Chains A and B, each alone.
Chain A
Amino acid sequence: MTREREALKQFGDETRSHGPDVSRLQERLREEGWVRDPGLAAPTGILAAFRRWSEPLEDGAHRVAARVRASMALGRARNRGLMLAGVAAAVALAAWPRTAPLDVQLQDGADSPAFVSETGRLALTYDGEGTVSGTEQAPRMQWRSGSVDVEVEPNRGTDFRLVTPEAEVRVLGTAFSVDRNALGTTTLVSRGRVSVQCVGGEEVELAAGQSITCWPTTPAGLLGRGRRLIAADPPAALAALDRGAELAEPGPVAVELAFARLEALVTDGREADARAAANEWLAVGAGHRQPAVAELAATLALRLDGCAGAQSELAALSAGDPLLEGCR
């Protein structure tokens, strides 16, 4: 006999002796668990609301997975003896985790490209070079090159700052990545909010999913950014090269900036502008790029106006130049 049947039999006995107090017995059956309670068992009840609320979010799982990988990588490094000094220092400083000093060199091509601070406030996965200093409470990171994913544990008041030659990134509990390459320093926020101040610029606040690139600040850096962008985005390359030219002192870097600018104009389809710029530059001397600029000016002139219209540019070429011969 099932439990329900036993209960119903008991119900029959009770109703015979005390009269049919159905509501009382119904309540008792539910209380004692004889009848499956739809509010508890069915997913439409309050436990279902709790279930939906407590369902793990995908980005939460991703965050945990990233932390686990970083921790495991750190563990492997520890097992190989590479982190012995760090562990010893961490044990010694365990009593003062908030003020425990950080002093870590992050090397490109490391066996275990991950770092987790002793208290877990800061987790880094990197492919590049930099240093971590400051304290557990206020980590300071200098990032020289490459990319780094940063996760700062939220709600612990950690004042983390990352500095590159182009930008300072400040954060209070979030996750973001920083990539420093020829284009500058790009900060991409994956969770929380981040404040970024490019050198010489306003401080801007980024939300999750937003990014910003702080341009290089030196003429050489701007030359690198310009060269990188010539093929993909000539107008952006020109903007970087023009800014570099404004900052550059006369010399090789200034010459390369001007030459890259000619390349960007040609790539952008502005051949007449490129010809004019080349001729203007030749008039004042194009330094070590003089022959190449003359060649470029003549080529553009021939393409735009033919032999008759390109006489002045052709005259600047040395005797025997194939372009010159072609117009004889």
Chain B
Amino acid sequence: MLPFPSPDVVIAARAGDGSARDQLMASSLPTVLAWCRRLGGPRVDPEDAAHDVLIVVLTRLPSLRQEERFGSWVFGITRRVLAKHRRRSWVKNWIGGEMPDIADATADPVRDTELSELAQQVEGILGQLPPAQREVLVLCDVEERTDEAVAALLGVPVGTAKSRLRLARAKFRRLARGRALAPQFVGLTTWGQG
């Protein structure tokens, strides 16, 4: 699980401490970038989106009242920014503009060749899930956060998070079977493994 800054750092950054703001950005950026990549879908440039999220975070930081809920606050901003970027990408599609590629999709050839095909299929399946299920599946099963941590990030009761996760897993499984992922998927989920 990727880290967030401590409440002390958030308080100092909110008060205008330059080094605390740098620290806050440095510790939040990997998490935000990962969210943008995992939740944005193939048509959103994750670096563009992460940039916009960080701008909003830094400019609206003085309005944050509960520093202990910084992670949840950032997640909410990320969700809104990604929705905006997705809308933009559809508009661009309709008017025939240029479509961004994922910025780092080919940055590491080894990683690209080994993981890209399977991961992009997973990305496609995630894109077919309802947003709430996609979020909970990514936060729980991709980023390995606890149910309680995910519930806190999403601002919902733990039971709701678990329920969403259950539905998300079931739907993910159905969609995976509908694709060519079935052999790998079934092989990895044989009863009794793990």
Q: A49-B119, A54-B38 are in contact. Are A68 and B55 (CB under 8 A)?
A: yes
Q: Are the CB atoms of B103 and A50 closer together than 8 Å?
A: no
| Contact A72 B30, beta carbon cutoff 8 Å | no
Binds A, one of B69-77, B80-88, B180-188: B180-188
Could you give, for residues 91-108 of chain B, a 1 whenever the CB lies within 8 Å of some chain A CB and a 0 otherwise? Answer: 000000010110110011
- Chain A residues contacting B89 (CB-CB under 8 Å) are none
Most chain-A CB neighbours within 10 Å: which of B107, B141, B165, B166?
B141
Cβ of B54 under 8 Å from chain A: yes
User: Contact at A42–B194, with CB atoms within 8 Å?
Assistant: yes
A60-B54 Cα distance, complex, nearest whole Å: 14
Q: Tell me which residues across on chain B come within 8 A of A71, comparing CB atoms.
A: 51, 55
Q: State whether the Cβ of B173 lies closer than 8 Å to any Cβ in chain A.
A: yes
Q: For the complex, what is the distance from the CA of A65 to the CA of B29, rounded to whole Å? A: 8
- Between A33, A39, A49, A156, the greatest number of chain B beta carbons within 10 A of the residue's beta carbon is seen for A39
Residue of B with least CB distance to A34 = B166
| A1 in the interface (beta carbon within 8 A) | no
In the complex, how many angstroms separate the beta carbon of A257 from the nearest chain B beta carbon?
A: 46
CB distance from B142 to the nearest CB of A (A): 5
Residues A57 and B29 in contact, CB atoms below 8 Å apart: no
Residues on the B chain within 8 Å of A53, using CB: 111, 115-116, 118-120
A 1-60 contacts with B by CB, 8 A: 23, 26, 30-33, 37-57, 59-60
Query: Which A residues have a C-beta under 8 Å from some C-beta of B?
Result: 23, 26, 30-33, 37-57, 59-61, 63-65, 67-68, 71-72, 75, 120, 154-157
Residues of B within 8 A of A (CB): 25-26, 29-30, 33-34, 37-38, 46-48, 50-51, 54-55, 58-59, 98, 100-101, 103-104, 107-108, 111, 115-116, 118-120, 122-123, 126, 137, 140-144, 165-167, 169-170, 172-173, 176, 181, 184-185, 188-189, 191, 193-194
What are 22 of the A-B contact pairs (CB < 8 Å)?
A: A33-B165, A33-B169, A41-B140, A41-B194, A44-B194, A45-B189, A46-B122, A46-B176, A46-B181, A48-B142, A50-B118, A51-B142, A51-B143, A56-B30, A56-B33, A57-B107, A60-B33, A60-B104, A63-B47, A64-B47, A71-B55, A72-B55
